[in-house]
Structure 1
Amino acid sequence: MAYAAPGALLKDDSTFVRQSHRRAVFQFDQRFSLLNGKVVGINGLKGGIEWRGRWRAGLGLYRLSGGVPTRIAQPEGTPSGTRDEVRFRYLVAYGEYVFIGNPRWELSTPLQLGAGSYYTKYYFPDGGIRRTDREVLFVLEPSIAAHYRVFRWIGVGAGTGYRQVMAAGKQPQDDMSGIIFFGRVKFFLGDFIKVVRGRERLFSQQGLESHK
């Protein structure tokens, strides 16, 4: 009967993630969403802590890059030809679990919970603009994401999910809720510091090779 040492089993196991210590992680998180028939961009920046190579948690800030056309009736007396859009921004707390991966790539399930504000902006035919008061919104965003390390200290990823917005005002929820898909650039600050301190080559593949 052949015997394999525990370390050998881990090397061949694609669910093994090498980092066992805590480290800081930052992400530029560009999201897109199909809202009321229009593709809109949502710009985000996230920072957090990863530990045991499996769990991540932190905070993020997101802002809608362009307005979303509304479906609600305009206020009485609004001039014909007036265009209206909903705009929003929000702060989130996020958690993420890596359920499969290796030093090079991973598959994870991020979940974001947040709160922010939104308002409606009116563009009148004569060039005038009016904005309503800000209202409170709450956000729930479950998703699934894939990630690939280009170098030890930086990687790229993509994913998809759904944004559910619970609004406290009169605007209908479907103005802001919808399917999301995103791309991200991840900066591993801890690994970057180790590379610099160890005077390693910045663009090497050290630590990312497949174990055989």
Structure 2
Amino acid sequence: MEAACLSRLLLASSVLLLSATTGRAAATPAYYYDTTFVRQSHRRAVFQFDQRFSILNGKVVGINGVKGGIEWRGRWRAGLGVYRLSGGVPTRIAQPEGTPAGTRDEVRFRYLAAYGEYVFIGNPRWELSTPLQLGGGSYYTKYYFPDGGIRRTNNQFLFVIEPSIAAHYRVFRWIGLGAGTGYRQVMAAGKLPQDDMSGIIFFGRVKLFLGDLLKVVRGHERLFSQRGLENSRLRQTAE
């Protein structure tokens, strides 16, 4: 008799435990994330407007850029970018002999870069990463003469390496804003001194997550929804 009662008690306890576990799993949304890091097994395309700034020879200059690539496992990114100096950088080198007094000279450059990026901490809303860019391009010097004439030198090859640290914050599931800082080291093939183009960089980004945008459009979801981004609150609720 006591054995039968004990068996019924164990059976009832098992049923209650199973029900509680099932109920909690059902209450947890399908898009619940671990706040430690975002892990995704599939690959997705990423696209960025990458506006960079540098203080070169005492002048703040902008470098306009755009880049795109592939992200996989939510941790690694790689791709290509193209950049162009938006304005000239005043040089510090002596002008060629015979140059009229009052002549102004500026360096201009552009380059193509391959980049790799490692995300070492983050969640669906924000992340911190370490991008590294390696690229090559060309530069030239432009001379503005007092009489209004303009002359430019031939293009010279340059090599660029840019280590940096960056962060971004997703405003919505498919778009985010980012910023970061780093250093640009330029190695030139000509006689131009490197400090005309090398220096500290700081940048702002608008990141478009094409894969997530396609999912939102195809799934007829609300374009400005916060779905999938409230992971901290969801985890607290679930716990």
The alpha-carbon deviation at position 13 of structure 1 amounts to 5.1
Amino acid at match of 2:227: Q
Give the distance between the partners of 2:119 and 2:131, measured in 1 at CA.
9
Give the distance between the partners of 1:24 and 1:17, measured in 2 at CA.
16
Amino acid at match of 1:68: V
Which residue number corresponds to residue 133 of structure 2? 112
Give the distance between the partners of 1:14 and 1:137, measured in 2 at CA.
42
The alpha-carbon deviation at position 22 of structure 1 amounts to 0.2
Give the distance between the partners of 2:144 and 2:191, measured in 1 at CA.
19
Which structure has greater helix proportion? 2
The alpha-carbon deviation at position 21 of structure 1 amounts to 1.2
User: Is the contact made by 2:66 and 2:82 (CA closer than 8 Å) also made in structure 1?
Assistant: yes
TM-score normalised over the length of structure 1: 0.94
CA distance 1:152–1:12, change in 2 (3 Å) = closer
1:171 aligns to 2:192 (yes or no): yes
User: Is the contact made by 2:33 and 2:124 (CA closer than 8 Å) also made in structure 1?
Assistant: no
1:93 aligns to 2:114 (yes or no): yes
Give the distance between the partners of 1:23 and 1:61, measured in 2 at CA.
20
1:82 aligns to 2:96 (yes or no): no
The count of aligned residue pairs is 205
Give the distance between the partners of 1:25 and 1:166, measured in 2 at CA.
29
TM-score normalised over the length of structure 2: 0.83
Give the distance between the partners of 1:199 and 1:122, measured in 2 at CA.
56
CA distance 1:149–1:205, change in 2 (3 Å) = same
Give the distance between the partners of 1:50 and 1:12, measured in 2 at CA.
18
Which structure has greater strand proportion? 1
Which residue number corresponds to residue 61 of structure 2? 40
Indicate the SS of the match to 1:171.
coil
Indicate the SS of the match to 1:87.
strand
Indicate the SS of the match to 2:128.
strand
User: Is the contact made by 2:39 and 2:75 (CA closer than 8 Å) also made in structure 1?
Assistant: no
User: Is the contact made by 2:115 and 2:134 (CA closer than 8 Å) also made in structure 1?
Assistant: yes
Which residue number corresponds to residue 209 of structure 1? 230
Amino acid at match of 1:54: R
Amino acid at match of 1:195: V
Q: Deviations over 1:4-63 (max 9, x none)?
A: x9x99xx78543114331000000000000000100000000000000000000000000
User: Is the contact made by 1:14 and 1:100 (CA closer than 8 Å) also made in structure 2?
Assistant: no
The within-5 A match list for 1:152-171 is 152-171=173-192
Give the distance between the partners of 2:162 and 2:36, measured in 1 at CA.
25
In structure 2, stretches of 5+ residues that fail to align are: 1-20
Q: Deviations over 1:86-130 (max 9, x none)?
A: 000000000000000000000000000000000000000000000
The within-5 A match list for 1:51-90 is 51-90=72-111
RMSD (Å) for aligned C-alpha atoms? 1.6
